[in-house]
Amino acid sequence: MPETKILLQESEIPERWYNIMADMPNLPAPPLHPATGQPVTPDALSAIFPPALIEQEATRERWLEIPEEVRELYRLWRPSPMYRAHRLERALDTPARIYYKYEGVSPAGRHKLNTAIPQVYYNRAAGIKRIATETGAGQWGSALSMACQFFGLDCTVYMVKVSYQQKPYRRILMSTFGAEVIASPSDRTQAGRTVLAEHPDSLGSLGIAISEAVEDAAGRADTNYALGSVLNHVCLHQTVIGLEAKRQLEKAGEYPDVVIGCCGGGSNFAGLAFPFLADKLTQGKALRAIAVEPEACPTLTRGKFAYDFGDIAQLTPLLQMYTLGHTFVPAGIHAGGLRYHGDSPLVSQLYHDGWIEAVAYGQTQVFAAAVQFARTEGIVPAPESAHAIRAAIDEALKCRESGEPKVILFGLSGHGHFDLAAYETYLAGDLEDVPLSENALAEGLSHLPVVR
Ligand SMILES: *Cc1c(COP(=O)(O)O)cnc(C)c1O
């Protein structure tokens, strides 16, 4: 039997990130200032981001060097393993060859440390002492608090109140890594106080928490803001995933026909797919890349390609992206990391121009795939990652029909050890699908800003 686990040497950790903006025929439209509607100047961004990240946000340089100190920390868990899913293939009786790249081996249990580390590195280099951020269920917050601890920065995390109260484990993880964790909405910011004045019992949302963190960072010279997805520099940092995966498949003598990733803000999908899409953009490779989202938050498949805010208080720049509207609050599905109203402008532009595909699934189908994967491959996947598994299984089943031995690569962005309550609900038969109604879709889109 061919190899199951494809490993790289430490020396094979990429030395450079891949910037897809070098190869895109159409670049994303420029971000606009939330108040003036004019393109944002680097100066305006410098209130919340360090210079290196502002530059990475816009550069068209194809390769950007990964600082040695960042590679040193990447060595804690990188290169991450790639597996051939032999037992899953047999269970599906498919001629397809299925590979997955596993980011759950990181100390944060997911891909987010790939960008948390360089973001904190560049902030420290700029003399910043403290970082403010938001977190939903605590996935980004725990990665960032760990990275801040490594570099000696303070970390304040505004955590969506409902998760703060109901999902204590990642909150405790963040405290363990030394972060200050605040339930959002809070009385620490104007944005939080405004919400609380109107809705004292508000359980919060990611949009509100972003508003609080941005306000906190903008108001203090020693503090910057950090975002765990969506932005160009985040997608850039995540390309270590795809660059390693390319090398691993090369070792196995393979090249993928299909690359699949789950898509919340788009960063793990981008990280895996962009280095392969480079071959499609520059050499015309016939490669399919599929972004997978929940039907409760179907940003690419049902959203609108338009300028929108990243947050409810309209503090962030306007980004042109697929969006369900900045006021949209998705149903409380278990894949919390996929509940964002917008999407990466890079992923959005590539989708708009037909370079990538998108598909949406309900959570019962997703958990069925997650359980089948756990039982064949031995890894309990994060509910987010299970969206990619669902799509990979469906592609493999199509191969069973057609008899084509396609090579399928998917990203397993994290493990589900903090999500076992969701598994319990599924196993008890109590999990429900919550597709987005046409009315809720129209309501969310009716609040898109008018851009002249
Ligand atoms: C946060 C998260 C996601 C969603 O974020 P992207 O930016 O779309 O990658 C996906 N999977 C896991 C495990 C996550 O923690």
pLDDT tens digits along 334-373 = 888 898 899 999 999 999 999 999 999 999 999 999 999 9
Q: Tokens 């944002």 map to which residue?
A: 40
The atom number, within ligand 1, closest to the CA of 139 reads 15
The alpha carbon of 235 and the centre of ligand 1 are apart by a number of angstroms equal to 12
Q: Which amino acid is at 107?
A: P
Name the token pair of 53: 């990240």
In contact, 185 and 207? CB cutoff 8 Å: no
Confidence of residue 228 (pLDDT cuts 50, 70, 90): very high
Q: What is the pTM assigned to this prediction?
A: 0.97
Strands 82-84 and 5-6: antiparallel
In contact, 444 and 302? CB cutoff 8 Å: no
CA atoms of 237 and 17, how far apart (whole Å): 6
Q: Tell me the C-alpha to C-alpha distance, in Å, between residue 245 and each of 101, 152, 260, 364, 441.
A: 7, 31, 12, 29, 36
The alpha carbon of 264 and the centre of ligand 1 are apart by a number of angstroms equal to 6
Residue 332: inside a domain, yes or no? yes
Residue 314: inside a domain, yes or no? yes
The alpha carbon of 334 and the centre of ligand 1 are apart by a number of angstroms equal to 12
DSSP 338: G
Residue 372: inside a domain, yes or no? yes
- The pLDDT value recorded for residue 44 is 87
- The pLDDT value recorded for residue 130 is 98
pLDDT of residue 11 exceeding 60: yes
The alpha carbon of 229 and the centre of ligand 1 are apart by a number of angstroms equal to 8
CB crowding 325-353: b at 16 or more within 10 Å, else e: bbbbbbbebbbbbbbbbbbbbbbbbbbbe
The alpha carbon of 419 and the centre of ligand 1 are apart by a number of angstroms equal to 14
Please name the helix (run of DSSP H) or strand (run of DSSP E) that holds residue 348, with its range, or none.
helix 345-352
The atom number, within ligand 1, closest to the CA of 103 reads 13
The alpha carbon of 239 and the centre of ligand 1 are apart by a number of angstroms equal to 14
Residue 22: inside a domain, yes or no? no
Domain count within the chain: 1
- The pLDDT value recorded for residue 2 is 64
Beta-bridge partners for 389: none
Q: Model confidence over 396-428: pLDDT tens digits?
A: 999 999 999 999 999 999 999 999 999 999 999
Query: What is 8-66 written as a DSSP string?
Result: --GGGS-SEEE-GGGT-SSPPPPPB-TTT-SBPPHHHHTTTS-HHHHHHHH---SEEEP
Residue 256: inside a domain, yes or no? yes
CA atoms of 325 and 309, how far apart (whole Å): 8
The atom number, within ligand 1, closest to the CA of 270 reads 9
Helix (H, G, I), strand (E, B) or coil at 326: coil
State how far Cα 120 lies from the chain centre.
17
The alpha carbon of 417 and the centre of ligand 1 are apart by a number of angstroms equal to 15
Residue 222: inside a domain, yes or no? no
Tell which phi-psi region holds residue 36, choosing left (phi > 0), alpha (psi between -120 and 50) or beta.
alpha
Which residues contact ligand 1 via a Cβ below 6 A? Answer: 110, 112, 139, 229, 262-269, 337-338, 382, 384-385, 413-414
Average the pLDDT over 69-92 and give the result: 98
The CATH number for 335's domain is 3.40.50.1100
The alpha carbon of 85 and the centre of ligand 1 are apart by a number of angstroms equal to 21
Please name the helix (run of DSSP H) or strand (run of DSSP E) that holds residue 93, with its range, or none.
none
Q: Tell me the C-alpha to C-alpha distance, in Å, between residue 449 and each of 35, 168, 246.
A: 11, 36, 40
CA atoms of 290 and 395, how far apart (whole Å): 10
Residue 172: inside a domain, yes or no? no
Residue nearest to atom 7 of ligand 1 (CA): 267
Tell me the residue range of the domain where 254 lies.
Answer: 4-10+67-109+233-445
Burial of 226 from C-beta contacts in 10 A (0-12 / 13-18 / 19+): buried
CA atoms of 67 and 153, how far apart (whole Å): 18
Residue nearest to atom 3 of ligand 1 (CA): 337
Confidence of residue 107 (pLDDT cuts 50, 70, 90): very high
CA atoms of 36 and 146, how far apart (whole Å): 36
Q: Tell me the C-alpha to C-alpha distance, in Å, between residue 396 and each of 13, 180, 387, 402.
A: 30, 45, 14, 10
Residue 124: inside a domain, yes or no? no
The alpha carbon of 384 and the centre of ligand 1 are apart by a number of angstroms equal to 6
Residue nearest to atom 13 of ligand 1 (CA): 414
| Residue-level length of the chain | 452
pLDDT of residue 1 exceeding 60: no
Burial of 251 from C-beta contacts in 10 A (0-12 / 13-18 / 19+): middle
- The pLDDT value recorded for residue 146 is 97
Residue nearest to atom 1 of ligand 1 (CA): 337
Tell me which of 384, 412, 419 to substitute to probe ligand 1's pocket, judged by most ligand atoms within 8 Å of the beta carbon.
Answer: 384
Give the percent of the chain with pLDDT over 70: 100
Tell me which of 80, 260, 262 to substitute to probe ligand 1's pocket, judged by most ligand atoms within 8 Å of the beta carbon.
Answer: 262
Name the token pair of 355: 């370079």
